[in-house]
Structure 1
Amino acid sequence: MTLRGIVGVGAGVILAAGIAGYFYFPNPLWTTGRMIRSLESENEMHRLMAVGLLKDRAPGSEKAIAALVLALGDKWDEVRGSASTTLCEIGEPAIPYLRPALQDNNQLARETASQTMICMQRFEKK
């Protein structure tokens, strides 16, 4: 096999892997709805990636903000922390969504929502 043949095969493998990744891993090309649905994935990394990607869409999307509030109850602390940080950065527009989370049945959601509100208060004062 020539170098050109090897490079061609390598590029094909990379392209195929990239296409497979598009369908499997949350990425910026996905719709907001698809990212939100991936928050229900069994895979922690998929949920964390989705929260990170929703960060860019959340300020202008009520659906993304509501999904991030739901992620405050995630069983994995990295997902909860990332969602909390994003909501803290969004600030005031997230407050109406956070208030009900303070009464959530999920203790993790209540605690993380409370911490997020405290973060917002501290962030506002600066």
Structure 2
Amino acid sequence: MRRLALLCALAAALAVPVLAAAQDPEATVSRTFAAIGEQIVVTITLDTPADAVVEVDPAGESWGDVRVIRVLSQSATATEAGLRHRIEVLVAPFAPGSVTFRPAVVVTTDAGSVPAPLPSLTLE
């Protein structure tokens, strides 16, 4: 039991720097409406430390009824605090009516990997 508690405490301590790794996350859609299968672009921006790697998780559950077609572009620009990442992802909804989803992006640093806290988006 003590080992489990120690392991949980260690995991929490290591997660704090990683959680702080993704600052000012933003996500926008190229338009707020799309028919089933119609492709749109999701643009994701977030700031990370200089050593962070940011990757789209196309299988993440938070995409919901939206499918990732492909990553169109991914860039990182140096800032005073680290890096500003910009990712453009081509996606398409595959459910009728309004679809709400949250892009799934993983930030990896030396401390570990965690999902970036991106906002939910809605397509009509």
- Name the TM-score, length of structure 1 as normaliser: 0.26
**Structure showing the higher helix proportion among its residues:** 1
Q: Which has the larger radius of gyration?
A: 1
Higher relative contact order (CA 8 A, sep 6+): 2
- Name the TM-score, length of structure 2 as normaliser: 0.27
**Structure showing the higher strand proportion among its residues:** 2
